[in-house]
Amino acid sequence: MSRIPRKRPIDYILPFLIMICTGVIVVLGYQLWSTIQGPEDESDIYVYVAQGSAKILPWGAGEWGLVYNGTRLLQEDSIKTQAGGRVVVELFNDHYVRLDERTEVTFSDIKKSGEGYEINVRLIEGKIWINSDENSETPVKFTVSTDHTMIKTVSTVYGVEQTSQGEAVRVLKGSILADVMIEEDGEARKVETLNIGVGQQAVLNKDAIEAYTKRESPSVIDAVSDEFRDSSFYKWNMAEDQNPTDFSLGGGNTDSMMFDGDSTADADTEEGDLAKPLVTTPSTLTFATSESSLTIRGTTVALTQKMMVDVSSDDGSDNYELNLYVPGNTEWSFAVSQAAGTLNQGLNTYRFYALGEGESKSGKTELIINYQSDETATDEDDEETDSETGDIGALKAPEVKTYNGKESNVVDADTVKVVGSVEGAKEINVSGYTLSAFKPGDTTWTYYAKESLGNLDPGENTFTVTATAEDGTRKSTTFTITYNKAETADDEDSTADPGV
């Protein structure tokens, strides 16, 4: 009779060892595959070429490849535009990062955070423009870093630049905090935090960076320069902010893009509604002037039958049809003047819109003109004023006189006209914003706080007005505005400056 061989202990546990080893191999294999493929990301971030060409370096890849419209952007991907190239990165349909020519960025981190996302952008060189929609269903918190700055923002419009000459941050809506970073002992350390308001720029040139390295605090904040406002990059972004190109309709990578003030194609219309008209003159959507008359010019789509404008100021409001406009034209103009009652002292708001066939109607494009007439002019040609001779007297601290024409600083309006007095001042600065309409020797100054500009929030707002004399002497005064916002207020956005 044969004997059944007795099983050894190893025979019982061997199947389990095989299963465990197989599982370990599968897990390690998946991790290796994930590493090769790069970080997993389910975000809806797409790249579109607006002009020229651009390249992309996917995470883990060794070579740059061409960017094609609709390319999905993932974490650690890098984008680089060529000479003459411009790119739009669209995030969740509501947020935009736009790259100028010769610009390189890396989206170093893209991660889910609550109901929204946190996006880290590293600017290697060039210029970028960020427009983050505060009403988006998918909020995005941006962190933008350069060699010497780190900016964390939500719901703002601003530009960042890094070149061999230095770095710059420019704010077009809201306000931001920018940390100045200096490398010490191999580590980046924060040496100062800059509070940059709407219409301001912080420029860190080589001298400023050297001063920060020495733990000094140089003056780097000023009004956004006219040179930047005159640049094609600024005008392109302003046009895109007013009327973003719909790349799903074939927009982009064409010579008809918004670099010379031309309007977008008729494809921008949707469901019978016309694309918003664009303002090309003046070049900014907020404009300060002492001229009593001027002509506003712009473009619209060829489907337009009528051009209309709503005009409002402290003197009232009215609606006009642009009677010189010919149906089907893509250009329009509107002359305004003090004599005609369409340009009044103070803030004048113009909302242009187009009417098409049937009931089709465009959205409205808002332009704000701050008109300050030269009240000190005289008919005597030979008379010299103190400011002309350079003698503007001793400096006295600025004072606040009225808020919307009243002494009370408690308001319920979303726009506040602050009027004050001063003597012996060369310039006036309010909370870091230089009043461009103020001239040396003027004895009154005017500042506008407006909720849609980001410089007036519900509750108490604190401002510091600083007067500077010819010799550099400064005197300051602090004032507050308490804004009691109505719960039903329906505020409109604006990318204008408080500039006066």
What are 416-445's pLDDT values in tens digits? 999 999 998 988 888 877 777 788 888 999
Residues 6+ apart with CB under 8 A from 498: 198, 199, 430, 433, 447, 448, 449, 450, 453, 455
Mean pLDDT value of segment 80-105: 90
| pLDDT value at residue 159 | 95
| pLDDT value at residue 381 | 41
| pLDDT value at residue 452 | 65
256 or 335, which is more confident: 335
Model confidence pTM above 0.85: no
Q: Which amino acid, 164?
A: S
Mean pLDDT value of segment 283-302: 83
What are 97-109's pLDDT values in tens digits? 999 999 999 998 8
What are 304-344's pLDDT values in tens digits? 999 999 999 888 888 999 988 989 888 899 999 888 889 99
User: What distance in Å separates the CA atoms of residue 169 and residue 192, rounded to the nearest whole number?
Assistant: 15
pLDDT of 383 over the 60 cut:
no
pLDDT of 1 over the 80 cut:
no
pLDDT of 34 over the 60 cut:
no
Return the minimum-mean-pLDDT range out of 91-105, 120-134, 239-253, 357-371.
239-253
Q: Which of 401, 454, 410, 457 is nearest to 432 (CA)?
A: 454
The answer to whether 174 and 196 are in contact (CB under 8 A) is no
Read off the pLDDT band of 266 (50, 70, 90). Answer: very low
DSSP state of 139: -
**What are phi and psi for residue 165, nearest 5 degrees?**
-90, -15
| pLDDT value at residue 113 | 82
Q: List 372's β-bridge partners, or say none.
A: none
The reply to whether 269-371 and 387-483 are identical in fold is yes
Please report where in the chains the tokens 């465009």 appear, as a residue: 362
Mean pLDDT value of segment 253-260: 35
pLDDT of 110 over the 50 cut:
yes
Q: How far is CA 95 from CA 92, 223, 249, 482, in A?
A: 7, 25, 18, 32
pLDDT of 387 over the 90 cut:
no
Mean pLDDT value of segment 113-140: 88
What are 333-375's pLDDT values in tens digits? 999 988 888 999 888 999 999 998 887 898 888 888 888 876 5
What are 224-236's pLDDT values in tens digits? 888 888 888 998 8
CA-based diameter of the chain, in Å? Answer: 139
**What are phi and psi for residue 45, nearest 5 degrees?**
-125, 120
Read off the pLDDT band of 257 (50, 70, 90). Answer: very low
Mean pLDDT value of segment 181-207: 90
Q: Which CATH architecture group holds 269-371?
A: Sandwich (2.60)
The answer to whether 117 and 136 are in contact (CB under 8 A) is no
**What are phi and psi for residue 16, nearest 5 degrees?**
-70, -40
239 or 4, which is more confident: 239
Q: How far is CA 497 from CA 137, 228, 313, 336, 435, in A?
A: 27, 14, 17, 21, 11
User: What distance in Å separates the CA atoms of residue 72 and residue 132, rounded to the nearest whole number?
Assistant: 19
Please report where in the chains the tokens 């420019």 appear, as a residue: 170
DSSP 96-126: EEEE-TT-EEEEEEEEEETTEEEEEEEEEEE
Mean pLDDT value of segment 452-456: 74
| pLDDT value at residue 32 | 64
pLDDT of 269 over the 90 cut:
no
Mean pLDDT value of segment 49-59: 88
Average pLDDT, the chain: 81
CATH hierarchy code of domain 387-483: 2.60.40.10
The answer to whether 59 and 77 are in contact (CB under 8 A) is yes
- With respect to CATH, is domain 45-229 assigned 1.10.4160.10? no
Mean pLDDT value of segment 373-384: 45
What are 198-232's pLDDT values in tens digits? 889 999 999 999 999 998 889 899 888 888 888 88
162 or 253, which is more confident: 162
| pLDDT value at residue 429 | 84
The domain spans of the chain are 45-229, 269-371, 387-483
